[in-house]
Amino acid sequence: MGTEIHLTGIYMLKAKHMLKITRLTSVASAGIALLALSATVKAQVITQTFSVPTTATAFSDPITYNLFNSNLGVLQSVTLSLTSTVTANVNFYNFTELGGPFGPPTTESYTNATASVPVSVGGPGGLTASVTGTAGPFSGSSSVFETVIPGAPQTLSDSVTITSGLGVWESPPGSATGTLTASAGAGTYGGSSVTGLTAFGGSATANEAITLTFTYTPPVATPEPGAWALVLASASVSFAGLLRKRATKVA
């Protein structure tokens, strides 16, 4: 019986020590977690998007975008992305619709009508992209003065990431202006008709979208003084309790 009581006392003593150690571990873990939280800051992003609907080239549309608010943190990079869809068209002209020396209006036929139109688009930050849009060959007929026959849409894009000279992209706070542009160069056009009272030309349409992304790191979060005081106080109480227990056992 005496042996059983002695063993029970040992187990109880070990259990109490384990409880103390667990409390100390919990307090230490809380302190470490709080410290880690104060030192870990994830990058954040702010995105702005601007667009121009499908429009005949050329166009030049001004935009106003917000600069990065430097009060939010440290700007790490600026990324600008451009996407555009360009469509070239064959333009068929039936001059009989004008009357006069061309005679009465008639329906005119055409074959192998083609167009090739170079198009360039651009935006802020040096964004630029170009493509040669094509349409045809087409064959058909028309009784109106101008017939526009679109080719297959073509997609183009450009992207640039800026990591230096970022001061021009930030302000506490502010805005800046830019321009979304599209232009068409001299193309080549052709086709055949029976009477010769016709002509062929070309044109193009384009849309454009610009995405402006700021990547930044916010200020490091500093724990409130009260939070640190709570962690330290809890640790002090736990350590003091453990020392009193040891002192009692020695006495």
Average pLDDT, 10 consecutive residues per value, the chain (251 residues): 46 47 49 51 94 95 96 96 98 92 90 97 95 96 96 96 95 93 95 91 97 94 57 53 52 54
Residue 222 lies in a domain: no
Residue 31 lies in a domain: no
CB-based contacts of 96: which residues, under 8 Å, 6+ apart?
A: 102, 103, 104, 105, 106, 108, 195, 197
Residue 250 lies in a domain: no
Residue 25 lies in a domain: no
Residue 179 lies in a domain: yes
* Number of domain units in the chain: 1
Residue 39 lies in a domain: no
Residue-level pLDDT at 34: 47
CB-based contacts of 100: which residues, under 8 Å, 6+ apart?
A: none
pLDDT in tens, 93-141: 999 998 888 888 999 999 999 999 999 999 999 999 999 999 999 999 9
Residue 213 lies in a domain: yes
CB-based contacts of 157: which residues, under 8 Å, 6+ apart?
A: 81, 82, 83, 84, 129
Give the tokens for residue 239.
């350590």
Task: Give the residue among 117, 92, 105 at the shortest CA–CA distance from 191.
Answer: 92
pLDDT in tens, 215-231: 999 987 655 566 555 55
This prediction's pTM: 0.70
DSSP 145: S
For residue 182, give its domain range. Answer: 44-217
Residue 50 lies in a domain: yes
